[in-house]
Amino acid sequence: MTVPTFRFAPSPNGELHLGHACSALLNARMADEAGGRFLLRIEDIDTERCTPEYERGIFADLSWLGIAWEKPVRRQSEHFDDYGEALRRLIDEDIVYPAFMSRGEARAWIAEEATGETWPRDPDGAPLYPPRDRTLSERERRARMDASAPFTWRLDMAAAMEHVSGAIEWQETGAGPEGETGVVRARPEAWGDVVLARRDTPASYNLCVVVDDAIQGITDVVRGRDLFHATSVHRLLQELLGLPVPIYHHHDLVLGDDGRKLSKSRRDTALRSLREAGAMPDDIRRMVGL
Ligand code: GLU
């Protein structure tokens, strides 16, 4: 029988705050109630912004909260080969292409070529990547790559969607921003041609998360509602790579006094600051409603 397996997957690019405490505590509790495993994964592919100090801070905060996790932890920066292999498979399938436009160039292209049209935006509000590079000839691509032009690997969303048969769905036991729950239909096309790898970071969050969840045998993904729409991309990548599909549970976000999502740059809700100001783990549980 499959052992229910949960994970908390923070990025060590800042201090954990109340929102992370909520996710970690909920994961640990659900794993416990299911008689399952609880894993910690360090999502440190951005080697510029992630530091060993922040990683040590994550361990300290979670231990203080009374959370225990299995060791060794999986550190993404130690597994670039796994992500590279997944990317290679998608390149071989011809559903990934090198995209050469910088953000500024893409903006200028949209302003010029799409005058009068409302250019579609992704669920995070960013304009979709223009279709120009998708149609470059193989020769042109080669020439630019050989000339060391900077590029990112993007998924050709239209081609990718043709590779999957039928609707893509997932089982949601939490809820999305509009209260979506139960069997949810994935809409990856809303994201356009997403980035799967960059030159400086050889893998993107979306690619690593599905590869790791599969390698670690994650059966239950419990995370904040801000990642609800990204799940559509994760489901598509799982279909394309033939990976198992976990159950998803997106939980309420802990909001600041101003009603906005907490950020790592805010000191007042950082667990370390709260601890130093005399808060106890039970106070944190109360503050996040657990
Ligand atoms: N590393 C992501 C974050 O810190 C979470 C990824 C996930 O749970 O899928 O927001």
Q: 79-208: what CATH class? A: alpha beta
Q: Residue 9: what pLDDT?
A: 98
Q: Residue 202: what pLDDT?
A: 82
What is the distance in A from the centroid of ligand 1 to the CA of 77? 15
The answer on pLDDT for 216 being more than 80 is: yes
Q: Residue 287: what pLDDT?
A: 92
Average pLDDT for the chain: 95
CA 171 – CA 187 distance, rounded (Å): 14
What is the distance in A from the centroid of ligand 1 to the CA of 11? 7
Q: What percent of the chain has pLDDT over 70?
A: 99
Q: What's the whole-number mean pLDDT along residues 198-216? A: 93
CB 61 within 8 Å of CB 16: yes
Q: Residue 114: what pLDDT?
A: 83
CB 194 within 8 Å of CB 235: no
Strands 220-224 and 195-197: unpaired
Q: Is 253 in the pocket of ligand 1 (CB under 6 A)?
A: no
What is the distance in A from the centroid of ligand 1 to the CA of 109? 32
Q: Is 67 in the pocket of ligand 1 (CB under 6 A)?
A: no
Q: Where in the chain is the domain with CATH 3.90.800.10?
A: 79-208
Question: Max CA-CA distance within the chain?
Answer: 63
CB 262 within 8 Å of CB 255: yes
Q: Is 212 in the pocket of ligand 1 (CB under 6 A)?
A: no
Q: Where in the chain is the domain with CATH 3.40.50.620?
A: 1-78+254-290
Condensed to tens digits (0 to 9), the pLDDT of residues 52-90 reads 999 999 999 999 999 999 999 999 999 999 999 999 999
Q: What's the whole-number mean pLDDT along residues 145-167? A: 95
- Confidence band (pLDDT; 50, 70, 90) for 201? confident
CB neighbour list of residue 278: distance below 8 Å, 6 or more residues apart: none
Q: What angle do CA 175, 178, 181 make, to 5 degrees?
A: 35
What is the distance in A from the centroid of ligand 1 to the CA of 227? 8
Q: Residue 172: what pLDDT?
A: 98
Q: Which of 53, 34, 11, 15 is nearest to 219 (CA)?
A: 34
Q: Which CATH architecture has domain 1-78+254-290?
A: 3-Layer(aba) Sandwich (3.40)
The answer on pLDDT for 121 being more than 90 is: yes
Residue whose CA lies nearest to ligand 1 atom number 7 = 9
What is the distance in A from the centroid of ligand 1 to the CA of 255? 17
Q: Residue 27: what pLDDT?
A: 98
Q: Residue 104: what pLDDT?
A: 93
Condensed to tens digits (0 to 9), the pLDDT of residues 21-56 reads 999 999 999 999 999 999 999 999 998 999 999 999
Ligand 1: which of 41, 55, 61, 223 to mutate, judged by most atoms within 8 Å of the beta carbon? 223
Distances (CA, A) of 57 to 25, 42, 146, 175, 243: 16, 12, 42, 30, 32
Q: Which of 103, 49, 90, 39 is nearest to 236 (CA)?
A: 90
Q: Residue 262: what pLDDT?
A: 77
